[in-house]
Structure 1
Amino acid sequence: MGVVQHIPAGERGVIRVFDLDMRPEQARFLREPGALAQVLGIEEIDLDHVEIFPISDLEELGLVGYLTEGCGVPADQITDDGETLQALTGHVLLVRSHAFGGEETHLTPATPITLIGAYGEQRPQWTGTPIEAESAKPYTAPRLPPRAGRSKARRIGASLFAVIMTLIVLAVLKMVT
Protein backbone atom coordinates (compact mmCIF):
# COMPACT_ATOMS: atom_id res chain seq x y z
CA MET A 1 0.00 0.00 0.00
CA GLY A 2 1.11 3.58 -0.72
CA VAL A 3 0.98 6.73 1.35
CA VAL A 4 -2.41 7.52 2.94
CA GLN A 5 -4.16 10.52 1.37
CA HIS A 6 -6.75 12.36 3.47
CA ILE A 7 -9.77 13.78 1.65
CA PRO A 8 -11.68 16.17 3.96
CA ALA A 9 -15.48 16.13 4.08
CA GLY A 10 -17.09 18.61 1.69
CA GLU A 11 -13.98 19.07 -0.45
CA ARG A 12 -14.73 20.65 -3.82
CA GLY A 13 -12.79 21.63 -6.91
CA VAL A 14 -9.68 19.45 -6.46
CA ILE A 15 -8.31 17.12 -9.12
CA ARG A 16 -5.85 14.44 -8.01
CA VAL A 17 -3.50 13.05 -10.65
CA PHE A 18 -2.16 9.52 -10.21
CA ASP A 19 0.41 7.68 -12.31
CA LEU A 20 -0.71 4.13 -13.11
CA ASP A 21 2.39 1.95 -13.35
CA MET A 22 0.60 -1.06 -14.81
CA ARG A 23 -0.16 -2.84 -18.06
CA PRO A 24 -2.85 -1.26 -20.29
CA GLU A 25 -5.33 -4.11 -19.67
CA GLN A 26 -4.99 -3.61 -15.92
CA ALA A 27 -5.64 0.12 -16.29
CA ARG A 28 -8.73 -0.58 -18.42
CA PHE A 29 -9.97 -3.02 -15.77
CA LEU A 30 -10.03 -0.18 -13.21
CA ARG A 31 -13.11 1.18 -15.01
CA GLU A 32 -15.10 -1.84 -13.82
CA PRO A 33 -17.43 -1.22 -10.85
CA GLY A 34 -15.61 -1.73 -7.56
CA ALA A 35 -12.15 -2.27 -9.06
CA LEU A 36 -10.86 1.28 -8.63
CA ALA A 37 -12.30 1.60 -5.12
CA GLN A 38 -10.51 -1.60 -4.15
CA VAL A 39 -7.07 -0.49 -5.39
CA LEU A 40 -7.54 2.92 -3.72
CA GLY A 41 -8.44 1.22 -0.44
CA ILE A 42 -11.95 2.70 -0.09
CA GLU A 43 -15.50 1.34 -0.04
CA GLU A 44 -16.89 3.14 -3.10
CA ILE A 45 -16.11 5.84 -5.65
CA ASP A 46 -18.30 7.62 -8.22
CA LEU A 47 -16.80 6.66 -11.58
CA ASP A 48 -18.59 9.61 -13.24
CA HIS A 49 -15.93 11.86 -11.70
CA VAL A 50 -12.93 9.69 -12.59
CA GLU A 51 -10.86 9.58 -15.78
CA ILE A 52 -8.47 6.78 -16.72
CA PHE A 53 -6.69 7.14 -20.03
CA PRO A 54 -3.34 6.68 -21.77
CA ILE A 55 -1.33 9.87 -21.94
CA SER A 56 -0.68 9.17 -25.62
CA ASP A 57 -4.38 9.99 -26.28
CA LEU A 58 -3.61 13.62 -25.46
CA GLU A 59 -1.15 13.85 -28.38
CA GLU A 60 0.52 17.28 -28.63
CA LEU A 61 -1.71 18.82 -25.94
CA GLY A 62 -0.03 16.73 -23.25
CA LEU A 63 -1.11 16.21 -19.66
CA VAL A 64 -0.11 19.73 -18.57
CA GLY A 65 -2.20 21.24 -21.38
CA TYR A 66 -5.11 18.97 -20.58
CA LEU A 67 -5.08 19.99 -16.93
CA THR A 68 -4.77 23.72 -17.62
CA GLU A 69 -6.94 24.04 -20.73
CA GLY A 70 -9.32 21.12 -20.33
CA CYS A 71 -9.81 20.96 -16.57
CA GLY A 72 -9.35 24.62 -15.63
CA VAL A 73 -6.36 24.18 -13.33
CA PRO A 74 -4.40 27.45 -13.04
CA ALA A 75 -0.97 27.11 -14.69
CA ASP A 76 0.85 28.45 -11.61
CA GLN A 77 -0.32 25.40 -9.62
CA ILE A 78 1.32 23.03 -12.08
CA THR A 79 4.70 24.75 -12.43
CA ASP A 80 6.30 22.74 -9.60
CA ASP A 81 5.13 19.40 -11.04
CA GLY A 82 5.32 20.38 -14.73
CA GLU A 83 8.41 18.33 -15.56
CA THR A 84 7.08 15.30 -13.68
CA LEU A 85 3.73 15.54 -15.49
CA GLN A 86 5.41 15.86 -18.89
CA ALA A 87 7.66 12.87 -18.20
CA LEU A 88 4.75 10.52 -17.46
CA THR A 89 4.06 7.70 -19.91
CA GLY A 90 1.44 4.99 -19.94
CA HIS A 91 -1.90 5.49 -18.21
CA VAL A 92 -2.96 8.20 -15.80
CA LEU A 93 -5.84 8.48 -13.34
CA LEU A 94 -7.63 11.77 -12.63
CA VAL A 95 -9.99 11.83 -9.65
CA ARG A 96 -12.18 14.85 -8.95
CA SER A 97 -13.40 15.69 -5.44
CA HIS A 98 -17.01 14.82 -6.33
CA ALA A 99 -15.94 11.19 -6.77
CA PHE A 100 -15.97 10.82 -2.99
CA GLY A 101 -19.52 12.16 -2.57
CA GLY A 102 -18.51 14.91 -0.15
CA GLU A 103 -17.57 12.34 2.50
CA GLU A 104 -14.31 12.31 4.45
CA THR A 105 -12.12 9.64 2.91
CA HIS A 106 -8.68 8.15 3.41
CA LEU A 107 -7.07 6.80 0.24
CA THR A 108 -4.44 4.08 0.57
CA PRO A 109 -3.53 3.43 -3.07
CA ALA A 110 -1.99 0.10 -4.06
CA THR A 111 1.70 0.06 -4.98
CA PRO A 112 1.39 0.63 -8.77
CA ILE A 113 -0.65 3.82 -8.17
CA THR A 114 1.39 6.91 -7.34
CA LEU A 115 -0.04 10.34 -6.50
CA ILE A 116 1.63 13.00 -8.64
CA GLY A 117 -0.28 15.98 -7.24
CA ALA A 118 -3.56 17.55 -6.24
CA TYR A 119 -4.62 20.67 -8.11
CA GLY A 120 -7.48 23.07 -7.50
CA GLU A 121 -9.77 23.99 -10.35
CA GLN A 122 -10.09 27.69 -11.07
CA ARG A 123 -13.20 29.08 -9.44
CA PRO A 124 -15.08 32.19 -10.47
CA GLN A 125 -14.77 35.17 -8.16
CA TRP A 126 -18.24 36.07 -7.00
CA THR A 127 -17.85 39.61 -5.80
CA GLY A 128 -20.24 42.49 -5.90
CA THR A 129 -21.81 45.11 -3.76
CA PRO A 130 -24.76 44.02 -1.64
CA ILE A 131 -28.19 44.93 -2.98
CA GLU A 132 -29.78 47.40 -0.62
CA ALA A 133 -33.07 48.15 -2.38
CA GLU A 134 -36.19 47.75 -0.27
CA SER A 135 -37.68 45.33 -2.80
CA ALA A 136 -34.66 42.99 -2.45
CA LYS A 137 -35.42 42.34 1.20
CA PRO A 138 -37.36 39.17 1.97
CA TYR A 139 -41.11 39.32 2.54
CA THR A 140 -41.48 42.90 1.24
CA ALA A 141 -44.06 42.15 -1.47
CA PRO A 142 -47.62 43.10 -0.53
CA ARG A 143 -49.72 40.11 0.51
CA LEU A 144 -53.31 39.70 -0.55
CA PRO A 145 -55.82 39.12 2.21
CA PRO A 146 -57.04 35.48 2.24
CA ARG A 147 -60.49 36.36 0.89
CA ALA A 148 -59.00 38.29 -2.07
CA GLY A 149 -56.57 35.40 -2.78
CA ARG A 150 -59.40 32.86 -2.92
CA SER A 151 -61.43 35.18 -5.17
CA LYS A 152 -58.50 35.56 -7.56
CA ALA A 153 -57.96 31.78 -7.64
CA ARG A 154 -61.65 31.23 -8.43
CA ARG A 155 -61.52 33.71 -11.33
CA ILE A 156 -58.45 31.99 -12.79
CA GLY A 157 -60.05 28.57 -12.39
CA ALA A 158 -63.30 29.71 -14.02
CA SER A 159 -61.38 31.22 -16.94
CA LEU A 160 -59.42 28.00 -17.50
CA PHE A 161 -62.62 25.95 -17.32
CA ALA A 162 -64.30 28.20 -19.90
CA VAL A 163 -61.35 27.95 -22.30
CA ILE A 164 -61.16 24.15 -22.02
CA MET A 165 -64.91 23.72 -22.47
CA THR A 166 -64.85 25.98 -25.54
CA LEU A 167 -62.06 23.87 -27.06
CA ILE A 168 -63.99 20.67 -26.39
CA VAL A 169 -67.19 22.09 -27.97
CA LEU A 170 -65.21 23.23 -31.03
CA ALA A 171 -63.60 19.78 -31.35
CA VAL A 172 -66.99 18.05 -31.14
CA LEU A 173 -68.51 20.41 -33.71
CA LYS A 174 -65.62 19.80 -36.07
CA MET A 175 -66.03 16.03 -35.72
CA VAL A 176 -69.79 16.25 -36.38
CA THR A 177 -69.42 18.33 -39.54
Structure 2
Amino acid sequence: MTNDLTIQAAETGRLRLFAINLDAKAVAELDNAEPEALGLMLGVDDLDPTYMELVRIEDLSELGLIGYLREGYDLGDDIVGADRTKLAALRGHVLIVLSLAFQGHAVTLPKRAELTLIATYTTHGPDWSEGMALSTPSAEPYSGPPVKKRPSDAAMSGRIATFALLFIFLFTAVFIWIAA
Protein backbone atom coordinates (compact mmCIF):
# COMPACT_ATOMS: atom_id res chain seq x y z
CA MET A 1 0.00 0.00 0.00
CA THR A 2 1.23 3.45 -0.74
CA ASN A 3 -0.45 5.21 2.22
CA ASP A 4 -1.96 4.18 5.52
CA LEU A 5 -5.53 2.99 5.04
CA THR A 6 -8.11 4.04 7.63
CA ILE A 7 -11.15 1.87 8.26
CA GLN A 8 -14.03 3.68 9.95
CA ALA A 9 -15.73 2.21 13.04
CA ALA A 10 -18.85 0.14 12.31
CA GLU A 11 -18.04 -0.03 8.60
CA THR A 12 -20.12 -2.56 6.70
CA GLY A 13 -20.59 -3.65 3.13
CA ARG A 14 -17.03 -3.18 1.86
CA LEU A 15 -14.70 -5.64 0.19
CA ARG A 16 -11.04 -4.75 -0.15
CA LEU A 17 -8.83 -6.55 -2.63
CA PHE A 18 -5.08 -6.58 -2.03
CA ALA A 19 -2.36 -7.94 -4.30
CA ILE A 20 0.33 -9.82 -2.38
CA ASN A 21 3.89 -8.90 -3.32
CA LEU A 22 5.75 -11.88 -1.86
CA ASP A 23 7.72 -14.71 -3.41
CA ALA A 24 6.04 -18.11 -3.82
CA LYS A 25 7.76 -19.61 -0.75
CA ALA A 26 6.59 -16.81 1.57
CA VAL A 27 3.03 -17.04 0.23
CA ALA A 28 3.06 -20.83 0.71
CA GLU A 29 4.14 -20.35 4.33
CA LEU A 30 1.40 -17.76 4.78
CA ASP A 31 -1.16 -20.11 3.23
CA ASN A 32 -0.17 -22.92 5.63
CA ALA A 33 0.05 -20.65 8.69
CA GLU A 34 -2.65 -20.00 11.25
CA PRO A 35 -5.55 -17.87 9.96
CA GLU A 36 -4.50 -15.01 12.27
CA ALA A 37 -1.31 -14.61 10.19
CA LEU A 38 -3.34 -12.83 7.51
CA GLY A 39 -4.28 -10.14 10.02
CA LEU A 40 -0.67 -9.77 11.11
CA MET A 41 0.33 -9.36 7.47
CA LEU A 42 -2.07 -6.41 7.29
CA GLY A 43 -0.38 -4.99 10.39
CA VAL A 44 -3.33 -5.54 12.74
CA ASP A 45 -3.49 -8.40 15.21
CA ASP A 46 -7.17 -8.44 16.21
CA LEU A 47 -8.90 -9.12 12.89
CA ASP A 48 -11.45 -11.90 12.43
CA PRO A 49 -9.87 -14.34 9.92
CA THR A 50 -13.30 -15.74 9.05
CA TYR A 51 -13.85 -12.72 6.80
CA MET A 52 -10.45 -12.80 5.11
CA GLU A 53 -9.48 -15.02 2.21
CA LEU A 54 -6.16 -15.72 0.56
CA VAL A 55 -6.82 -16.65 -3.07
CA ARG A 56 -4.39 -18.13 -5.58
CA ILE A 57 -5.57 -16.70 -8.89
CA GLU A 58 -4.35 -19.71 -10.89
CA ASP A 59 -6.69 -21.94 -8.83
CA LEU A 60 -9.68 -20.05 -10.19
CA SER A 61 -8.93 -21.44 -13.71
CA GLU A 62 -11.60 -20.48 -16.23
CA LEU A 63 -13.74 -18.61 -13.69
CA GLY A 64 -10.98 -16.08 -13.11
CA LEU A 65 -10.78 -13.42 -10.43
CA ILE A 66 -13.53 -11.32 -12.00
CA GLY A 67 -15.89 -14.29 -12.12
CA TYR A 68 -14.96 -15.24 -8.57
CA LEU A 69 -15.81 -11.76 -7.30
CA ARG A 70 -19.07 -11.78 -9.27
CA GLU A 71 -20.18 -15.27 -8.27
CA GLY A 72 -18.62 -15.63 -4.83
CA TYR A 73 -19.20 -12.14 -3.49
CA ASP A 74 -22.19 -11.10 -5.62
CA LEU A 75 -20.43 -8.11 -7.14
CA GLY A 76 -22.18 -7.08 -10.34
CA ASP A 77 -20.55 -6.21 -13.65
CA ASP A 78 -21.34 -2.57 -12.94
CA ILE A 79 -19.11 -2.76 -9.85
CA VAL A 80 -16.10 -4.73 -11.14
CA GLY A 81 -16.45 -3.61 -14.76
CA ALA A 82 -14.37 -0.46 -14.31
CA ASP A 83 -11.44 -2.52 -12.97
CA ARG A 84 -11.75 -5.37 -15.49
CA THR A 85 -8.33 -4.84 -17.12
CA LYS A 86 -6.60 -4.30 -13.78
CA LEU A 87 -8.14 -7.47 -12.31
CA ALA A 88 -7.39 -9.55 -15.41
CA ALA A 89 -3.72 -8.53 -15.23
CA LEU A 90 -3.25 -9.75 -11.65
CA ARG A 91 -1.11 -12.86 -11.09
CA GLY A 92 -0.10 -14.83 -8.04
CA HIS A 93 -2.17 -14.38 -4.89
CA VAL A 94 -4.68 -11.81 -3.69
CA LEU A 95 -6.11 -11.16 -0.26
CA ILE A 96 -9.83 -10.44 0.05
CA VAL A 97 -10.84 -8.65 3.25
CA LEU A 98 -14.47 -7.95 4.13
CA SER A 99 -15.54 -5.16 6.49
CA LEU A 100 -16.69 -7.73 9.05
CA ALA A 101 -13.04 -8.72 9.58
CA PHE A 102 -12.50 -5.44 11.43
CA GLN A 103 -15.25 -6.36 13.93
CA GLY A 104 -16.73 -2.86 13.92
CA HIS A 105 -13.55 -1.18 15.20
CA ALA A 106 -11.82 1.80 13.66
CA VAL A 107 -8.51 0.50 12.30
CA THR A 108 -5.58 2.05 10.49
CA LEU A 109 -3.72 -0.36 8.24
CA PRO A 110 -0.09 0.73 8.03
CA LYS A 111 1.72 1.05 4.72
CA ARG A 112 3.25 -2.34 3.83
CA ALA A 113 5.51 -3.17 0.91
CA GLU A 114 4.11 -6.69 0.60
CA LEU A 115 0.53 -5.47 0.00
CA THR A 116 -0.97 -3.34 -2.73
CA LEU A 117 -4.57 -2.20 -2.45
CA ILE A 118 -6.12 -2.97 -5.81
CA ALA A 119 -9.70 -1.91 -5.19
CA THR A 120 -12.41 -1.34 -2.62
CA TYR A 121 -15.88 -2.49 -3.61
CA THR A 122 -19.26 -1.93 -2.03
CA THR A 123 -21.07 -5.23 -1.61
CA HIS A 124 -24.81 -5.65 -1.93
CA GLY A 125 -26.49 -6.85 1.21
CA PRO A 126 -30.10 -7.90 1.51
CA ASP A 127 -32.62 -5.07 1.23
CA TRP A 128 -34.63 -5.07 4.44
CA SER A 129 -36.34 -1.74 3.76
CA GLU A 130 -39.57 -3.35 2.61
CA GLY A 131 -40.87 -5.66 5.27
CA MET A 132 -42.87 -8.65 4.16
CA ALA A 133 -45.90 -9.53 6.21
CA LEU A 134 -45.65 -13.20 7.00
CA SER A 135 -48.94 -15.00 7.26
CA THR A 136 -48.74 -18.64 8.19
CA PRO A 137 -51.11 -20.81 10.19
CA SER A 138 -48.29 -21.87 12.49
CA ALA A 139 -47.74 -18.25 13.53
CA GLU A 140 -51.32 -17.87 14.75
CA PRO A 141 -51.94 -17.95 18.51
CA TYR A 142 -53.10 -21.27 19.96
CA SER A 143 -52.03 -23.17 16.85
CA GLY A 144 -49.74 -25.58 18.68
CA PRO A 145 -50.66 -29.07 19.74
CA PRO A 146 -53.60 -29.18 22.14
CA VAL A 147 -52.79 -29.35 25.81
CA LYS A 148 -53.38 -32.83 27.21
CA LYS A 149 -56.30 -32.73 29.62
CA ARG A 150 -55.93 -34.09 33.13
CA PRO A 151 -58.18 -37.15 33.67
CA SER A 152 -61.28 -36.42 35.71
CA ASP A 153 -61.70 -37.71 39.25
CA ALA A 154 -64.47 -40.08 38.12
CA ALA A 155 -62.17 -41.65 35.51
CA MET A 156 -59.41 -42.11 38.08
CA SER A 157 -61.88 -43.68 40.55
CA GLY A 158 -63.06 -46.09 37.85
CA ARG A 159 -59.49 -47.18 37.09
CA ILE A 160 -58.72 -47.75 40.77
CA ALA A 161 -61.93 -49.79 41.19
CA THR A 162 -61.03 -51.90 38.13
CA PHE A 163 -57.56 -52.68 39.49
CA ALA A 164 -59.04 -53.49 42.93
CA LEU A 165 -61.55 -55.93 41.39
CA LEU A 166 -58.80 -57.61 39.33
CA PHE A 167 -56.67 -57.98 42.47
CA ILE A 168 -59.58 -59.49 44.44
CA PHE A 169 -60.33 -61.90 41.57
CA LEU A 170 -56.70 -63.06 41.37
CA PHE A 171 -56.44 -63.32 45.17
CA THR A 172 -59.63 -65.45 45.29
CA ALA A 173 -58.40 -67.64 42.42
CA VAL A 174 -55.12 -68.30 44.23
CA PHE A 175 -56.99 -69.24 47.47
CA ILE A 176 -59.27 -71.66 45.61
CA TRP A 177 -56.31 -73.23 43.84
CA ILE A 178 -54.38 -73.68 47.11
CA ALA A 179 -57.47 -75.12 48.86
CA ALA A 180 -58.09 -77.66 46.13
* In 2, Cα distance between equivalents of 1:89 and 1:130: 45
Instruction: Tell me the percent identity.
Output: 35
Is 1:64 the counterpart of 2:62? The answer is no
Is 1:16 the counterpart of 2:20? The answer is no
Aligned to 2:5: 5
CA distance 1:129–1:112, change in 2 (3 Å): closer
TM-score (norm 1): 0.67
- 1:20 is displaced (CA, Å) by 0.7
* In 1, Cα distance between equivalents of 2:94 and 2:87: 10
Aligned to 1:164: none
Count of residues in correspondence between the two structures? 136
- 1:116 is displaced (CA, Å) by 0.3
- 1:64 is displaced (CA, Å) by 0.7
**Gapped runs of 5+ residues in structure 1?**
132-140, 142-155, 160-177
Would the aligned equivalents of 1:39 and 1:109 in 2 still touch at CA under 8 Å?
A: no
Is 1:125 the counterpart of 2:114? The answer is no
- 1:130 is displaced (CA, Å) by 9.3
The one-letter code matched in structure 2 to 1:35 is A
- 1:109 is displaced (CA, Å) by 4.2
Q: Any idea what SS the aligned residue of 2:128 has?
A: coil
Q: Any idea what SS the aligned residue of 1:22 has?
A: coil
Q: Any residues of structure 2 matched to 1:56-95 within 5 Å, and which?
A: 56-95=58-97
Aligned to 1:50: 52
* Larger mean Cα displacement after TM superposition, 28-37 or 106-115: 28-37
Aligned to 1:26: 26
User: 4+ residue runs of structure 1 moved beyond 4 angstroms?
Assistant: none
- 1:11 is displaced (CA, Å) by 1.1
TM-score (norm 2): 0.66
Aligned to 1:97: 99
**Gapped runs of 5+ residues in structure 2?**
134-140, 142-146, 151-180
The one-letter code matched in structure 2 to 1:77 is I
- Which whole-Å deviations, capped at 9, do the CAs of 1:46-65 have from their partners, x for residues lacking one? 11111112100110111111
* In 1, Cα distance between equivalents of 2:99 and 2:132: 31
Would the aligned equivalents of 2:39 and 2:49 in 1 still touch at CA under 8 Å?
A: no
CA distance 1:73–1:109, change in 2 (3 Å): farther
Q: Any idea what SS the aligned residue of 1:116 has?
A: strand
Max radius of gyration: which structure?
Answer: 2
